[in-house]
Each structure stands twice: as structure tokens, then as C-alpha cells.
Chains A and B, each alone.
Chain A
Amino acid sequence: MTALKKSTLTEPELVLALQSKDSTVLKTLYSMYSPALYGVISRIITHTELAEDVLQETFVKIWQSAEYYDNTKGRLFTWMMNIARNLSIDKLRSKDFKNSLKNQDIENNVSFVDEQNKVTFNPDVLGIKQLVENLKPDLQAVLDLVYYKGFTHVEAAEKLDLPLGTVKTRIRLAIIELRRNFN
């Protein structure tokens, strides 16, 4: 939440500046949102280097396609988060990522595996993790897949062998749980 305090710009002002290609606003945007977006990305891609690549790609795309952002369709952060999520999922399924997994030398494997299982000691995250973990296991499972693993709800339904409707309901219930905690 500290990041938000860094700028006094409101979201419409940010959007306007971004769409008029004011490069200073990109810096503001980066300092405000890069940690949040990096958090989203690194839930999906645990490999630090690749996650950072995706973060960079995300901001490049935000900068280059700012004109396509439509505030009637949703908040700026939602738009940016979805760019980050989509790029992360693309990366996860790309040849690049698979190669990076394959190409690990045996001696590098240990550190790579460590990297994959790295625990980030972010106190804020620890609190939220706890919250998410306190969800009912069936809600936890879908949120894990959809939010952390980058699954679509269709893929999640297949993976959990559940009807699509059930998956959708469970996603909704999990988010309602989050909303309750924030409000």
C-alpha cells in the first residue's frame, strides 16, 4: 500500500498522461505498480529471471498499447494485471520456458530447484497467504489454479474434474472471501 502514497495522481490522470505518451508517467506507474504486478507474475513464474523478463515485457506492452485501454471496460490496474497474467501464462507455455527447464545443467539444477521453491519473506504476503490458506480447501484449490497457476477456469474444471459452473462459483466465493477481508 506504500506504493500508492508515492503519487498523488488519480487513475484518470494517470490514464490520460499514459495515453498522451508522457514518459514520466510511466516511471510513476512503474514505481506504483511494479511490485504488485511482479507479485502476480512471480506467483505464476517462480523463476526469478524469467519473471523479471515478463515484468519488463508487461510494462513495454502497457506503454505500447496504452491507447487501447478503455476505462469503461475496467480499472487500469485490472487491465495491467491481465496483461501481466497473460504474458506470464504465455511465457509458461512457451518453448522458451520449457527450454529453460530442459537446459539446466545437472550442477545448476540444485540452485534452479531452490530458485523454483524460493520463499519470499514479504510480511504482507505472509499475512495474505495465511488468509488464502484459511479458505475452505475446495475454494483454495480453484484460487490456487486460477490465480497462482495461471489456469483458465475451463482448465481448472478439467484439472479438478468439476463442472464448469462449480468452478466459477468457487472462484466467486473465494473472491468474496477476499473482499470481506478487505472491506
Chain B
Amino acid sequence: MSVENLKAYIESGVLELYVLGDLSPQEALQVQEIAIKHQEVREELAAIESAMEKFAMQNAIQPSASVETKLFEKLGISLDEQTEPVLIPSLPQETKIVQLEPNDGKIKTLRYALVACVALLVISTAALFITYSKLTDAHDQIASLNLDKQKFAGIVSKLEYSNQGLSNLVEMNDSKEWATIKMQGQAISPQSKMNVYWNKKNKSVLINYLAMDLPKADAQHEYQLWAMVNGKPVSLGVFGKTDSTSKEALLKMQTIQEAQAFAVTLEPMGGSVNPTMEKLTVMGGV
């Protein structure tokens, strides 16, 4: 290529287009071939490139930092590693997102139910306490009623006892068969008195706890009834304390065919063979 032709070639603007990448591959190849041969073309190209590069440098705009991050992520290059390229296996961390079931309404309902349950529990507890205190009152009342009942039952049994004794007395007084021997208090107990009922037909002897007034005997002693037969005392048996809780007001003693008098002495438990005369409590003749 002649010098004139070369100058015309340079001035045609084809080198600028080459640098701007605005040539077809064939045209570009031609530029390269000529550039290899001609120093002037190479220099011209270098000058154009340099100008374009400086132009670009001075028109530089800093892109946002995220571009760099995304770029190296995409290429799998770690930004921190300065010496070795570490290939990050580009496995996207798939965090499993579990969709909450749309059961807000259900939760709301359950919440209301819970509140209702708590309220019910409170009411129930209160009711339970009221009922419990009422029950305690009722128990107390039952206990006191029981006491009353026992008291009345005692009274009733005492009354029955008295009534029985009294009716027996009345019967025996009316009957001609029974003789009533009234025994009077002796030296050790002048206030004492007691009746003995002696059947003239079958000779049986009865005493009535209601028809006696004797001093209270202690635990080691009891009273013994004697019949005086021709001046000799005959034991008719022992009997308990005057305040005996025995149901029977009447107590049947041993029978005696004949007797002139009856007497009661205080004897050791079980009775004695002969009466202790110092302890003669009551005595009465037939």
C-alpha cells in the first residue's frame, strides 16, 4: 500500500470504526492484516484506542456494589478468598417454608373456648366451695340432731323404764297375791328405804329399782337381800346399784317359803354367806 493510499485509508475513518467494533468480520480482518504490515496504522489504532479508553475512564460511573456481589456469586467466585478461587457449589439453600394453615378463625374459636373453660372452672370452684360449706353445716346439724336424738332416746328409754316399773308397782299393789314389805333405813343410812314384793302364792320375791332409795354402792360392793327366817338370815341374792341402767325395773330374787322380815346389807361383790350387820342398810318386817 502506497504512502498516499495508507494516509487515505487512515483518514477514511475505518480505524475508528474498527475500534468502535462497527466493522464486519471481513473488514475487521482486513484492518488487522494492514496493521500488521504498517507501523503507522498500528500507531493510529493505538492512539484511537487510548483516546476512547481515556474518554471512557473519564466518563466512568460507579455501579452499585450489589452488581459485584451478584457477579461473583453467579461465577461462583468467593469475594473473601484472595489467593485461591473457591468454587462455591451453587446449591441454592432452599429453606423449606411451611405455610401456616389459614386457621385463624379456628384459633379464635379455641381462644374463646379457653376463656369459657376458665370462666366455667372459676364458677365451678366457687359453687364447689359454697356446696362444701353447706355440706359442713349440714354435717354439723346432723351431728347436733344426732346428739338430740340420743338425748331423747335416753329420755324415752328412761321414761319407758320408769313407766314399766310404775305400772308393775300399780299392778302389784292392786293384786292380792303380792305383799309389799316396806324396809326402813337403819343406823348407817337413816334416809334409805326400799320395798320388797313377796308373792304369797308362789313365794317368789321381787324388788323394784324404782321403789328403792339406797346410797350409791361403790365398785367393790353391792347390796344383798336377806330374809329373816325364824331369826336366821337367808340370802335371797345380790342386786346392783340403785341407778342400774338395766332395762328391767323389776328384778326377781330367790323365792322364800316363809319369812318374818327382810333386810338389805352392803356386801363385797358376789355377796356373803352371812350378812355384815354393821352394813345393814334397810330392814322391814312382814
Task: Note all chain A residues with C-beta closer than 8 A to B17.
Answer: 153, 168, 171
B172 close to chain A: CB less than 8 A = no
Q: A34-B63, A56-B67 are in contact. List 6 more A-B contacts (CB 8 A).
A: A30-B71, A77-B53, A125-B60, A125-B61, A171-B16, A182-B54
A175 at the B interface (CB under 8 A)? yes
Please state if A36 and B12 are interface contacts (CB–CB under 8 Å): no
Query: A122 to nearest B CB, angstroms?
Result: 6
B48 engages A179 (CB within 8 Å): yes
Stretch at the interface among A68-76, A100-108, A109-117: A68-76
- Identify A175's interface contact among B16, B46, B57, B79, CB under 8 A: B16
Interface size class of A (residues with CB under 8 A): 35 or more
List of B residues within 8 angstroms of A59 by Cβ: 71
* Interfacial residues, chain A to chain B (CB-CB below 8 A): 1, 3-4, 21-24, 26-27, 30, 34-40, 42-43, 51-52, 55-56, 59-60, 63, 72-75, 77-78, 81-82, 85-86, 120, 122, 124-125, 127-128, 146-147, 152-153, 165, 168-172, 175, 178-179, 182-183
Q: How far is the CA of A124 from the CA of B21 in the complex (A)?
A: 25
Residues A122 and B63 in contact in the complex (CB < 8 Å), given A74-B49, A77-B49: no
- The answer to whether A78 and B63 have CB atoms under 8 Å apart is no
Cβ contact within 8 Å between B53 and A52: no
> Which of B14, B15, B56 is within 8 Å of A77, CB to CB?
B56
In the complex, 28 of the A-B residue pairs with CB atoms within 8 angstroms, ordered by the A residue number, are: A22-B85, A24-B82, A24-B85, A27-B72, A36-B56, A37-B56, A38-B62, A51-B63, A55-B63, A56-B71, A59-B71, A60-B71, A75-B50, A75-B53, A78-B19, A78-B52, A78-B53, A81-B53, A82-B20, A122-B59, A124-B58, A125-B58, A127-B58, A128-B59, A147-B20, A171-B13, A172-B16, A182-B55
Q: How far is the CB of B10 from chain A (nearest CB, A)?
A: 9
Contact A1 B49, beta carbon cutoff 8 Å: no
User: B11 an interface residue at 8 Å Cβ cutoff?
Assistant: yes
Asked if B32 is at the interface (CB within 8 A of a chain A CB), the reply is yes
